């Protein structure tokens, strides 16, 4: 049986849309410069538009920062045997605004930190047969305890939700040097083709 407090939370959750500023007072405070510093690991699951589980994955991450600018390297291993990787170049401003670029992101990702939460959006280019599809990603990250983040992403096309991703990220070694991981990243071969993004 659902407890009344949980039920009330669900009613609140589904009764109105959320804003990142709703979480301004929540702690612990999420700072990308701290959480995505050093080595982390992630596990996650992807769901299709019907809500059906489509893929599981594990990921290795390593981040390094100089001031408010950081590089985050990610290597993904999927349950169907495919491998992918992404290199984020991130900027976190003093007001909590965040921007980022990556090889498979069209333009720039933009978002805002507030309390224990980051919300940001970007357009992801996904290879499909001999072509590609661009989907809008709405990405929520919640720092649930020091060193642990829950990430919920929804993928949209023409305003319709076409997929959802949920993952847990755990910081392992905040003081780790990423040099060896960057070498591993560079040596890792994608089995998911990267679609070139050119300036229009």
SS3 180: helix
pLDDT one-digit tens code per residue, 29-77:
999 999 999 999 999 999 998 989 999 999 999 999 999 999 999 999 9
Q: What is the pTM of this model?
A: 0.88
Residue 194's pLDDT band, with cuts at 50, 70 and 90, is confident
The whole-chain average pLDDT of the chain stands at: 90
Tell me the CA distances in angstroms from 173 to 11, 28, 29, one per residue in order: 38, 19, 19
> Does residue 192 lie within any of the structural domains?
no
Determine the pLDDT at residue 15: 46
- What average pLDDT does this structure show over 6-34? 76
Q: 168 - beta bridge partners?
A: 43, 150
> Does residue 98 lie within any of the structural domains?
yes
- What average pLDDT does this structure show over 128-142? 92
Determine the pLDDT at residue 11: 42
The total number of structural domains in the chain stands at 1
Residue 13's pLDDT band, with cuts at 50, 70 and 90, is very low
CA angle 87, 92, 94 (to 5 degrees): 175
Domain at 33, CATH number: 2.40.128.20
- pLDDT at residue 128 tops 90: no
> Does residue 24 lie within any of the structural domains?
no
> Does residue 195 lie within any of the structural domains?
no
Tell me the CA distances in angstroms from 94 to 20, 65, 143, one per residue in order: 16, 15, 19
Peptide bond before residue 28 is cis, with ω within 30 degrees of 0: yes
> Does residue 13 lie within any of the structural domains?
no
> Does residue 12 lie within any of the structural domains?
no
> Does residue 2 lie within any of the structural domains?
no
- What average pLDDT does this structure show over 79-98? 96
DSSP 93: -
Give the domain range for residue 53. 29-187
The phi and psi torsions of 102 (rounded to 5 degrees) equal: -155, 165
Asked if 142 and 13 touch (Cβ cutoff 8 Å), the reply is: no
Residue 129's pLDDT band, with cuts at 50, 70 and 90, is confident
- pLDDT at residue 127 tops 60: yes
Residue 197's pLDDT band, with cuts at 50, 70 and 90, is low
Q: Helices (DSSP H) in 108-192: which residue ranges?
A: 179-187
- pLDDT at residue 10 tops 80: no
- pLDDT at residue 91 tops 60: yes
> Does residue 7 lie within any of the structural domains?
no
């Amino acid at each position: 049986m659902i407890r009344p407090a949980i039920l009330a939370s669900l009613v609140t959750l589904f009764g109105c849309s959320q804003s990142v500023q709703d979480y301004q007072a929540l702690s612990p405070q999420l700072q990308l410069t701290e959480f995505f510093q050093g080595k982390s690991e992630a596990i996650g699951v992807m769901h299709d538009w019907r809500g059906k589980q489509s893929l599981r994955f594990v990921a290795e991450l390593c981040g390094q920062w100089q001031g408010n600018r950081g590089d985050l390297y990610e290597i993904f291993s999927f349950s169907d045997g495919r491998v992918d990787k992404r290199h984020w170049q991130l900027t976190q401003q003093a007001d909590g605004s965040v921007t980022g670029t990556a090889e498979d992101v069209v333009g720039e990702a933009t978002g805002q930190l507030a309390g224990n939460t980051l919300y940001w959006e970007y357009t992801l280019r996904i290879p499909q047969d001999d072509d590609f599809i661009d989907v809008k990603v709405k990405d929520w990250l919640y720092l649930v305890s020091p060193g642990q983040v829950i990430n919920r992403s929804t993928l949209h096309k023409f305003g319709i939700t076409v997929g959802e991703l949920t993952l847990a990220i755990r910081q392992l070694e905040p003081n780790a040097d990423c040099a060896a991981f960057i070498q591993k990243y560079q040596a890792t071969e994608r089995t998911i083709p990267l679609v070139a993004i050119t300036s229009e």
